[in-house]
A and B are shown apart, each in its own frame.
Chain A
């Protein structure tokens, strides 16, 4: 889910890592660009060694290699420098975890779509879709015969839940983005009870998705992406609520991938609104400077 920095029409990715992590504590500053990749790798390894969450290492490796390759090539063409591979690495690993297919090609294609979307779909020099969210949604819509995501996966037990919550919380706290996660979770739970009231289904059934470890990746690593979220803290919380609300309606319509699709629609819309407001105020578009784990990833 990485992208070139959103500096007007000429992104400067060589400064991106520093920008992404300006909000991080200075102690491990040299390591900061590597912390999110390290954390998500830990999640992957723990999940796979304990539960075998991956279709296979080779498929995940294919997703990672494809993402990094595309990032390097496209970055070189458009930015005239070699981009830092950390964000592409996280995009690849996200694809490896979130995508499910017995075939190899969807992993490569999803990573390629994710990275390329950053360069092809830009508004005012800024890419507007969270790359892995775009890639996975595109695959779910266009290649539904071959892929699935976020359904029946991973341990389903308390231990795996705790591992991801702890690791995810550490990352988003350091990135000063925990408010986004918290707002979304609170919104989701509140709307789950409302949904249960409307549908007559057990509230546990409505809560169930957020208790699944795979869902946590969405909460911690996807909706917190600084490159595809608005700048203000209030705005970020508002977007989180909006995602939960759109997901609410999608779920009432029995959309299995409701959170992914909600982010797919709400994320770009929020950015358009922000751009319009900025334009209206006569301000130039500035890239978000608040770091987050998703920033590296996307």
Chain B
């Protein structure tokens, strides 16, 4: 037996400590792998599309049916001033937009799609009630809206601004905005010149809402590029954002107050909306139960803004509510009651590119308490990482009673093997004098930037987690998705998805839902309130649960869902009631409701 000497003991303990710290260090290095392997967030169902398996497992599946529905639309991107040729894919990366409207009030949703090349035509697909659509845009006078010298379309929102019962069209453009009056479903009359709208702006988002509760729809427009720029005839190449996180040199914001005579007064400064952040998406909703719709604006290159509305004035409260602290690349604004607790959450899409830029999407959930405070639960719920995300919508895709999320993504898909990310990151981190000049940016040269991305269809399990089932249920395209809408296109009690892709086809995903799950839908018409009922909130109570939804005048990214409100109910539901809070402040309660029906509700006058 060999005895240790006193001097050997500390040396041996030092060796042991060294071994232990090395093992511990190796454990630290292995932690990211273990985190990824055992993380419950961002779960993905990796199964190949199998409609019957998806129906059995997730309660629904999607089939892309655009061609059989008679739609073969392919979006054309704008080509701006030749001085921007080197980075044209980046500066002209938006414009594909889709909105749902029943323009002729036949009870079937129609589809309006924008195009964005000079000379290209927008399309108004009329629902033929038989699974097909017919383009009536030319006939109705809303096709040829991208003429040389007038700019091009970036989006469209519908609202009955004169309360005649028919949805009118506001066209969001990089160029001359257009307002079309709906002539009782027989055609549209251009009324831009007498409306008081500006002659030019470069905007990507607009929202119809009645901010002052006078029963007339007002219009918010969020500028992106500065309104003084004619993007086809630029004085110089200094037209880029001054920063990629703190830019305040974008387009101005507009709030057009509806005067009721076909004329609008621009009142943004008067009511407290003053921002030159680069707005990409907006949504209006009464977030505090005050009866006044607040306004959420998702900005590119910076923080989001939340304008709280007291009925006459707005107060920007992004920072104090928690949503306006970390600057990201906001590209979507959707509201939905994720937890079935009667409160509206806000989903904002941003950029996440593995190894390069991890902004993460935001799911802003209101905290309990006397003042409005939000916390971002996107990571906890598994809806944080969505690639270069754009439009998103809440909707119950499998009618199980929980709101799911359909997210579009993918920025620029060109050469699959060559990426522009290095050059993008190189310049974007530099000084504003370099960033702000397009001439300083390396040529795109056919490279991709977060291209060919898989979409996300996040299924809400009702227990605080989402699972991505896009591939399993058939949402398998990898186009550069921009705008997505959810609508019951064929009055079957299910939400179908329509996707507008930049430089890509319009896709219609026909949804098939397990018949075990029931549903209920509501179509509202205001009387004291605006006739579109935009801003009306419906809270459905069933099976001990409640869910609030709202009639929207534009949300997501460059999109507008069907005016009708769809609730999934799950199996054998017992419906207690629906409480409708109209924009006028009137509250209407309906009881004795039957599942699997569409209810048409007119506001009590």
Cβ-defined contact, B356 with A157, below 8 A: no
Cβ-defined contact, B32 with A116, below 8 A: no
The stretch among B426-434, B507-515, B594-602 that forms the contact with chain A is: B426-434
Cβ-defined contact, A151 with B357, below 8 A: yes
Cβ-defined contact, A101 with B358, below 8 A: yes
Min CB distance, B373 to chain A, in Å? 14
Min CB distance, A258 to chain B, in Å? 9
Docked complex Cα distance between A56 and B360 (Å): 14
Min CB distance, B326 to chain A, in Å? 6
- Is B417 positioned at the interface, with any CB of A under 8 Å from its CB? no
Min CB distance, B295 to chain A, in Å? 22
Contacts of A56 in B (CB 8 A): 325-326
- CB contact list, B242-258 vs A, under 8 A: 242-246
Cβ-defined contact, B426 with A152, below 8 A: no
Cβ-defined contact, A205 with B428, below 8 A: no
Cβ-defined contact, A157 with B360, below 8 A: no
- Is B29 positioned at the interface, with any CB of A under 8 Å from its CB? yes
Q: Which residue on chain B has the smallest CB distance to residue A103?
A: B379
| Chain A residues within 8 Å of chain B by Cβ, number | 58
Q: Say whether, besides A138-B29, A140-B355, A144-B354, A208 and B35 are in contact (CB < 8 Å).
A: no
Q: Say whether, besides A138-B29, A214-B429, A256-B421, A52 and B435 are in contact (CB < 8 Å).
A: no
Min CB distance, B344 to chain A, in Å? 22
Cβ-defined contact, A105 with B35, below 8 A: yes
Contacts of B38 in A (CB 8 A): none
Choice from A109, A206, A212 contacting B429 with Cβ under 8 Å: A212
Min CB distance, A117 to chain B, in Å? 7
Docked complex Cα distance between A157 and B357 (Å): 20
Cβ-defined contact, A109 with B440, below 8 A: no
Contacts of B35 in A (CB 8 A): 105, 143, 146
- Give how many A-B residue pairs fall within 8 Å (CB-CB): 165
Docked complex Cα distance between A114 and B379 (Å): 25
Min CB distance, B421 to chain A, in Å? 7
- Is B442 positioned at the interface, with any CB of A under 8 Å from its CB? yes
Cβ-defined contact, A211 with B325, below 8 A: no
Min CB distance, B329 to chain A, in Å? 8
- Is A265 positioned at the interface, with any CB of B under 8 Å from its CB? no
- Is A6 positioned at the interface, with any CB of B under 8 Å from its CB? no
Contacts of A139 in B (CB 8 A): 32
Cβ-defined contact, B36 with A145, below 8 A: yes
Min CB distance, B237 to chain A, in Å? 11
- Is B341 positioned at the interface, with any CB of A under 8 Å from its CB? no
Q: Say whether, besides A101-B358, A103-B379, A139-B32, A155 and B435 are in contact (CB < 8 Å).
A: no
**Residues 197-213 of chain A, each 1 if its beta carbon lies under 8 Å from chain B, else 0:** 00111101111110110
- Is A154 positioned at the interface, with any CB of B under 8 Å from its CB? yes
Min CB distance, B414 to chain A, in Å? 16
Contacts of B427 in A (CB 8 A): 205, 208
- Is B229 positioned at the interface, with any CB of A under 8 Å from its CB? no
- Is A254 positioned at the interface, with any CB of B under 8 Å from its CB? yes
The stretch among B17-25, B68-76, B112-120, B391-399 that forms the contact with chain A is: B17-25
Min CB distance, A12 to chain B, in Å? 15
Contacts of B17 in A (CB 8 A): 77-78
Choice from B28, B29, B384, B431 contacting A208 with Cβ under 8 Å: B431
Docked complex Cα distance between A154 and B14 (Å): 44
Cβ-defined contact, A102 with B358, below 8 A: yes
Choice from A120, A145, A154, A201 contacting B245 with Cβ under 8 Å: A154
Min CB distance, A268 to chain B, in Å? 16
**Residues 38-77 of chain A, each 1 if its beta carbon lies under 8 Å from chain B, else 0:** 0000000000000110011000000000000000001001
Cβ-defined contact, B246 with A116, below 8 A: no
Docked complex Cα distance between A102 and B327 (Å): 12
Can you name 29 A-B pairs with beta carbons within 8 Å? A77-B17, A78-B14, A101-B358, A113-B25, A116-B28, A120-B24, A120-B25, A142-B29, A143-B35, A147-B358, A148-B356, A151-B357, A151-B425, A151-B428, A154-B245, A155-B243, A156-B429, A156-B431, A156-B435, A157-B242, A158-B433, A205-B434, A207-B430, A208-B427, A209-B430, A211-B430, A212-B429, A254-B422, A256-B355
- Apart from A113-B25, A144-B355, A152-B357, list 7 A-B contacts with CB within 8 A: A52-B325, A52-B326, A78-B14, A102-B359, A102-B384, A143-B32, A199-B442
